[in-house]
Amino acid sequence: MKTAVVALGKIGLPLAVQFADAGHEVIGVDVNPRQVELINQATEPFPGEAHLDEKLKELVPAGKLRATTDYAEAIPGADAIVIVVPLFVDDETWEPDFDWMDAATRSFAEHITPGTLVSYETTLPVGTLRGRFVPMIEEISGLKESKDFFAVFSPERVLTGRVFEDLRKYPKLIGAMSEESTRRAREFYESALTFDERSDLPRPNGVWDLGSPEASELAKLAETTYRDVNIGLANEFALFAQDNGIDVYAVIEASNSQPYSHIHRPGIAVGGHCIPVYPRLYLSGDPHAETVRTARTLNASVPERLVARATELLGDLKDLKTVVLGASYRAGVKETAFSGVFPTTSALRERGAEVAVHDPFYTDEELTGYGWEPYHLGEPADLVIIQTDHPEYKDLTAADTPGIRLLIDGRNMTAPENWIGTPRLVLGDGQGSTASSQS
């Protein structure tokens, strides 16, 4: 099969590699000329994706994978087009911003040829494939869905850093516009993917047909929104426990010993491309979903709440040297998408604090590029806030931040014995050392 992949980012490029590795003739199209150049040189354009570099060095020289900026080169004659273009959400209105997706759809629709399967893998609000993109393709191309081309929504369900592992691990969901579109989508993904055996699933791992694009769209939104709501509940418990002398982590461990409880871990921030974004995509189609809205709002408020607590404990943050440990949104990745570092540093600056940021994945120049003063362990600090659960922070002691007056551990990862004599506030640990250290 000739397969075109639209957008060669942190998900699209591994997908293109997966298809090529399965025997497809793959051409990827991306608007970034530098990205295209690096791929055609068999050079990994971004670090951290397991096995990507070695697969590029195998597939590109063999002629199985190439990249271009030209839709007219990539699209005509393709058996399948897979779209993995980013979809953004407006921070203020929470409405989806379709600009990039619309532009990509218009561009490939100008060159699509009859018989092509079109698969959208970017997470979409419910009803988007049927109500927005299929009519757009039909209008521009003059072709009819389920007659001349075949549309399916098949959401990516992978995490950056382990895309190839996740492609094997999780069922591939499809929701197509007709029986023929379903048949073609199943044939395509079964030719491109292999699946791990999993005894924990209600049916064999593989391609799962959900019957409609809307069901497939909702499945992706539901699995991620569930996590945001669950974390919101955990954060609600954590804030209550913190104010009432209770260790919420002991409570969660006890609760989850019963098989019907699956409470997640609280944390200072919920970041990344998925969990903070997809609940808002869900809300764009279901604006009355108050549980989803409340959880998203609560999770977004935790950085401000912890900075406010620091202000209460220290009296005033004006001109204090404050340090945020961790720019990445989660441990082990170099990625700041919706990271808690942004609201945390903003809340500190609003109170007049001098703010510096440390992250083992970022150089001083990169941190400066974000507008932050770089911090180096061993330099003085008055207030330290752990934002990312990088393992490098686990064994920190007060000696690593001379002069520290308060540690706020937003990830419950530091050892109490390393901070004896230093006020230490752990989100959700009402039995932490802050009160005893100040008494």
What's the token pair of residue 182?
């379903």
Residue 235: closest CA among 245, 248, 250, 225: 248
Q: How far apart are the C-alpha atoms of 413 and 406, rounded to whole Å? A: 15
Of 147, 220, 318, 394, catalytic: 220
What's the token pair of residue 188?
């395509």
State the pairing for strand pair 116-120/172-176.
unpaired
Q: Is 144 a catalytic residue?
A: no
Residue 81: closest CA among 71, 93, 90, 91: 71
Neighbouring C-beta atoms of residue 213, cutoff 10 Å: 27
- 47, 57 in Cβ contact below 8 A? no
What's the token pair of residue 2?
């000739």
Strand intervals (E) in 156-227:
172-176, 207-209
Q: Which residue has the tokens 């694009």?
A: 213
**Length of the chain in terms of residues written:** 439
Of 55, 172, 274, 321, catalytic: 274
Q: What is the DSSP string of 210-234?
A: -SSHHHHHHHHHHHHHHHHHHHHHH
Q: How far apart are the C-alpha atoms of 360 and 374, rounded to whole Å? A: 11
3-class secondary structure, 167: helix
Strand-pairing partners, residue 358, are 325
Strand-pairing partners, residue 399, are none
Q: How far apart are the C-alpha atoms of 367 and 364, rounded to whole Å? A: 5
End-to-end CA distance of the chain: 71
Question: How many angstroms from the chain centroid is the CA of residue 420?
Answer: 36
Q: Which residue has the tokens 């551990």?
A: 409
- 66, 28 in Cβ contact below 8 A? yes
Q: How far apart are the C-alpha atoms of 157 and 385, rounded to whole Å? A: 31
What's the token pair of residue 319?
């001109």
Q: How far apart are the C-alpha atoms of 428 and 44, rounded to whole Å? A: 40
Q: How far apart are the C-alpha atoms of 306 and 208, rounded to whole Å? A: 43
Q: Is 64 a catalytic residue?
A: no
Catalytic residues: 220, 274
